[in-house]
Structure 1
Amino acid sequence: MAVIEVEDLAYGWQGEGGTYRVEVAALSIAPDSRIVLTGPSGSGKSTLIDVLALALAPSVARRFTLNMDGTPVDLARLWQRGGRGREALARLRARLIGYVPQTGGLLPYLSVEGNIALTQRLSGRPDRARIADLAQRLEIADLLPRMPESLSVGQRQRVAIARALAHRPLLVLADEPTASVDPVRAAAILDLLFEASAGSALVIASHDADGLAGRAPLRLSPRITTGAGGTTAVFVPC
């Protein structure tokens, strides 16, 4: 059973340069799947990641469901319910989704260990052994007492990966996780991300199609059209 199923989903917004719209005709994210969203900067990859992360409400969705313990949850309907629906979405996000932002997004007032433990705390599933295991696998065990300001960019990304995986989510979403590092470090970070996320579905947004070649069986790339109605990016398998 798919973790998330999408059919005729779209998100539109008004930007400085006009009207923009991201569309997905169909997408099924299975457990343990590996999916890459590719395309140039500004094509809507990060927007789609945020919609899948339940951070942005889709403008329209014929189907947008999450399967939790064999029970499908209608995410589109929850968005329509207002405050109570958003509270339910926040609980689902905290429990079932791990997110790796472009620049790590670590909280500056928490130690490395505190940042990693944050997702466990929010989901109500503390597990110090899990933190220790991830820190060892991601080669950041000696960094646990340190504060984010003392870390390199690559170290921050590894901490962000550990935080995204600490609560054993069903779905891991990574938005340009190697955008701020050199090619050698980028390859190492991707290797760690793919290895450490075993057991979770993984979706990565990246403009570096070559660096991800062969890593994921499904790649979605946007077909972009610009006209009187604005710019539309429709993500399709490539």
Structure 2
Amino acid sequence: MLTLSELRVVRGEGTTGRHEVYLPHLELASGDMLAIVGPSGCGKSTLLEALGLLLQPSALGRYVLGPSATDLAALLQVENESALARIRSRELGFLLQNGGLLPFLNVRDNISLPRRLLGLPASSERVHHACAILGLEPLLDKRPGALSIGERQRTAFVRAMAHEPRLLLADEPTAALDPQAGEVLFGLILSLVQELDMAALVVSHDRTLVNQFGLPRLIATLTSGGSRFEPEP
């Protein structure tokens, strides 16, 4: 599903402001869900943005996603933005910490937007299932401003997976949820990833949830110049 090598992202300049995020190697198969863990400020969100093609890496050896085996590193190197935009819209699902919902659309239209942009039917059985499990059905006609933080986060998750991407990237998806709701969302992410043969990378500070679901981890180690991310042995 995903093979990546020698990813480096540099933020800031100078001896005190420069921070390098380094991922030597990563492989994910269909159905895999990996938790990204590490101290605050180590670059977990930066790593996720680079994997989501939202950041231009400073260096990248190889990045292959899906059965087409297209090397995204080559597309990034030549800055083929049209090809990268197509991959972002079809192959990737991104769940931001702030949700990123459009305030002028209701919950139903926020969720259906990525499907409509791809020419897919506005909804699907899996979208209905996710909305039911997460208690969103009574909220479908409301706009984000009328929702609680937790409701917005649950809506953002369904939108991120609505078009059934190959890779789901989630940045602290349970941060705004109470423990019970966080457990339900984590379980739903894992079940959908396996059901849809997706792969998922989830930044999480909630070690209890990560342990409860037995997720393998990509762990950040602080170095003199930044952070190095490697799978847990």
TM-score by length of 1: 0.89
AA in 2 matched with 1:21: E
Instruction: Measure, in 2, the Cα distance between the counterparts of 1:119 and 1:50.
Output: 18
Aligned to 1:173, the other structure's residue is in SS state strand
Which residue does 1:66 correspond to in 2? 65
Shift of the 180–217 alpha-carbon distance from structure 1 to 2, 3 Å rule, reads: closer
Q: Deviations over 1:53-81 (max 9, x none)?
A: 111122111111222xx221111111122
AA in 2 matched with 1:105: G
Q: Which moved more, 1:144-153 or 1:129-138?
A: 129-138
Task: Select which of 171, 174, 184 maps to 1:175.
Answer: 171
Aligned to 1:119, the other structure's residue is in SS state helix
Alpha-carbon distance, 1:216 to partner? 4.5
Percent sequence identity over aligned pairs: 37
Given that residues 36 and 216 in structure 1 are in contact (C-alpha distance below 8 angstroms), is that contact kept between their aligned partners in structure 2? no
Q: Deviations over 1:119-176 (max 9, x none)?
A: 1122222242343333223221111111111111111111111101110111111001
Shift of the 58–72 alpha-carbon distance from structure 1 to 2, 3 Å rule, reads: same
Quick check: 1:33 aligned with 2:35? no
Q: Which moved more, 1:73-82 or 1:185-194?
A: 185-194
Task: Select which of 132, 146, 149 maps to 2:145.
Answer: 149
Which residue does 1:9 correspond to in 2? 7
Given that residues 107 and 115 in structure 1 are in contact (C-alpha distance below 8 angstroms), is that contact kept between their aligned partners in structure 2? yes
Instruction: Measure, in 1, the Cα distance between the counterparts of 2:183 and 2:46.
Output: 24
Alpha-carbon distance, 1:215 to partner? 2.1
Q: Deviations over 1:109-128 (max 9, x none)?
A: 00000100111122222242
Alpha-carbon distance, 1:214 to partner? 4.3
Given that residues 58 and 76 in structure 1 are in contact (C-alpha distance below 8 angstroms), is that contact kept between their aligned partners in structure 2? no
Q: Deviations over 1:159-218 (max 9, x none)?
A: 111101110111111001122233333223322322343322111011222321142542
Decide which structure has greater strand share: 1
Q: Which moved more, 1:134-143 or 1:55-64?
A: 134-143
Instruction: Measure, in 1, the Cα distance between the counterparts of 2:124 and 2:176.
Output: 30
Aligned to 1:162, the other structure's residue is in SS state helix
Quick check: 1:236 aligned with 2:230? yes
Instruction: Measure, in 1, the Cα distance between the counterparts of 2:31 and 2:13.
Output: 35
Given that residues 134 and 184 in structure 2 are in contact (C-alpha distance below 8 angstroms), is that contact kept between their aligned partners in structure 1? no
AA in 2 matched with 1:119: P
Shift of the 18–168 alpha-carbon distance from structure 1 to 2, 3 Å rule, reads: same
Q: Deviations over 1:17-54 (max 9, x none)?
A: 51011111110111110100001111111011111111
Which residue does 2:89 correspond to in 1? 94
Alpha-carbon distance, 1:15 to partner? 6.1
Given that residues 35 and 216 in structure 1 are in contact (C-alpha distance below 8 angstroms), is that contact kept between their aligned partners in structure 2? no
Unaligned segments of structure 1, at least 5 residues: none
TM-score by length of 2: 0.91
AA in 2 matched with 1:225: T
Given that residues 112 and 159 in structure 1 are in contact (C-alpha distance below 8 angstroms), is that contact kept between their aligned partners in structure 2? yes
Instruction: Measure, in 2, the Cα distance between the counterparts of 1:211 and 1:132.
Output: 25
Aligned to 1:48, the other structure's residue is in SS state helix
Task: Select which of 105, 111, 118 maps to 1:116.
Answer: 111
Q: Which moved more, 1:123-132 or 1:91-100?
A: 123-132
User: Runs in 1 of length 4+ with deviation above 6 angstroms?
Assistant: none
Aligned residues: 228
AA in 2 matched with 1:125: L
